[in-house]
Structure 1
């Protein structure tokens, strides 16, 4: 395992040492002529964790990454990251994912310690192939901004923190001391990264994970619910339209989907609202969009939306 620890106020030394871990870059203090760098880096196999704090406001202008991905997660403070034609305000609630090849630059405010996970591109592509069942046809490109407050994101972050803690004790009775165990944990962490943070294969990955053979009745019921999700449907309405009993319909959903027709309807409505809020233009109304997709009780809708997506509908609309 590779390990580096460093504290320095020398700008050039900070630039060189950080560059050795990541890539060559320009480092420009913004308010002072110095930095107060604190750095702890640990690497095992194709993954590494870096805890980094420049201590002063700085601008970092690296060369494009060639062979690895970075996930930067501030503990506090803020930074502006420009990457792949996007500008993202990084905070404790919004991580930043940097993909290889595209140029980027970052400006960190004073007091912005952050944890960085870096993963070799080959590891990401290998795990994606295993999840999809076929090799990816183009490079994986993550969305630059990554919410950290959803249940999935919090679970993934706990995995990163656990990985960092075990790396700190590698060689001293760590779970990562056995190569096979370490490799499996790395695979799980990268797999969860691909599931948690959106990228150009997310839709295909989601479809692959959710695909289950469905009987004709359930397929027809799902299609009917999706086509009429904005109407005040009941399970009785769906069963009557399909010419079966409510009990038969519910049993088929339980057996084939592990769910109920009404749970499927709620999920369908929530997904449609989420999709529309993400693409809505200026002046759009959360209430109007929710009503259009079948929600009547706004308080209940907001609670269900936050549970499913980890943020309020208005936050999605502003994003």
Structure 2
């Protein structure tokens, strides 16, 4: 049996970010392994599920997607193995309540058992093995969302994986809270759940789960996040940033920016290194990348990527595409088609 339904939480009185937040629920159950393979596959990473030694299997999966985060409640009977072809573009968190599961992709297998959550980055889950009866909650977070949050927290561009530690204790502390957040999201959005009428609450729960992962789990940027926040930027750095924002579409030079900030080029560079951990021109480049991304999302379809890119000073489209994909997790043309 298969059930699929799409729901939208848009409303004219909501902020634009929430008006565009579409809710989609997909429920599948049965014994057909080809259908299970289809459910667990993504556009860029198909997976083939098979039953070990031709044993009987059964599954029940309920996926709910809202924006760039999805949650799921899945249960399996029997022994099922799968091999993924390709790399998924999201972080996956498994929060089991019953049964065993293992993942291949790293040097050593990663095991998921009740009380022990598993966090997988895109390249960590090329193969899976499920020993039923198995039940788990899942949370999927687009890799682009992870990099956007870190970029916002550090005020500089973050790209690539974050090397997060794959294990998280679900019996206490952050892991227990994370499991409760995901459970609340899924039960509140499933069917006619009460969260469907409260997109602000949904957004808060999504954000809480993502920031909990980034702030409570060990990864490449944990030590930097634990340091005290930097002191407020001095006046000349603020003047420079304000000038960049006001004249972002103009061909600015380092000398221009330093003159407006009323300091020497060297002093301006030192200020940005100390208080923004970057250079003035890299900061300007980041502002333009963010503006380009926003315009691509809001475009009415009447402009091309090249036209929008040129508006923000990006001439070399090939170079831009590679950098944009690193920054936002997709090509400019993919953002334009949303």
- TM-score tier after normalising by the smaller chain length: 0.5 to 0.7
Q: CA offsets, 1:102-130, max 9 Å, x none?
A: 55211111111111100111111112223
Whole-angstrom distance in 1 between the partners of 2:46 and 2:139: 18
Whole-angstrom distance in 2 between the partners of 1:78 and 1:96: 12
Shift in alpha-carbon separation, 1:164–1:212, aligned structure 2, 3 A? farther
**Correspondence for 2:137:** 115
**Correspondence for 2:14:** none
Shift in alpha-carbon separation, 1:54–1:175, aligned structure 2, 3 A? closer
Q: CA offsets, 1:242-283, max 9 Å, x none?
A: xxxxxxxxxxxxxxxxxxxxxxxxxxxxxxxxxxxxxxxxxx
- Aligned with residue 194 of structure 1, among 185, 203, 214: 214
Q: How does 1:204-219 map to 2 (within 5 A)?
A: 204-208=224-228
Instruction: Pick the structure with more strand per residue.
Output: 2
Shift in alpha-carbon separation, 1:176–1:198, aligned structure 2, 3 A? farther
Q: Structure 1: which 5+ runs fail to align?
A: 214-319
Q: Answer yes or no: is 1:97 the counterpart of 2:119.
A: yes
**Correspondence for 1:49:** 71
Q: CA offsets, 1:175-230, max 9 Å, x none?
A: 45354543333222211111232222122222247x899xxxxxxxxxxxxxxxxx
SS in 1 for 2:103: strand
**Correspondence for 2:5:** none
Shift in alpha-carbon separation, 1:167–1:192, aligned structure 2, 3 A? same
Whole-angstrom distance in 2 between the partners of 1:25 and 1:104: 9
Q: Answer yes or no: is 1:154 the counterpart of 2:196.
A: no
Deviates more, 1:146-155 or 1:37-46: 146-155
Shift in alpha-carbon separation, 1:137–1:22, aligned structure 2, 3 A? closer
Conservation of the 8 A alpha-carbon contact between 1:48 and 1:118: yes
Q: Answer yes or no: is 1:143 the counterpart of 2:165.
A: yes
SS in 2 for 1:73: strand
Whole-angstrom distance in 2 between the partners of 1:119 and 1:12: 25
Conservation of the 8 A alpha-carbon contact between 2:105 and 2:123: no
Normalising by structure 2, report the TM-score: 0.56
Conservation of the 8 A alpha-carbon contact between 2:181 and 2:205: no
Conservation of the 8 A alpha-carbon contact between 1:128 and 1:191: no
Normalising by structure 1, report the TM-score: 0.59
Q: CA deviation at 1:83?
A: 2.9
Conservation of the 8 A alpha-carbon contact between 2:71 and 2:140: yes
Q: CA deviation at 1:149?
A: 2.5
Q: Structure 2: which 5+ runs fail to align?
A: 1-22, 233-338
Whole-angstrom distance in 2 between the partners of 1:137 and 1:42: 27
SS in 1 for 2:57: coil
Runs of 4+ in 1 over 6 A off after TM superposition: none
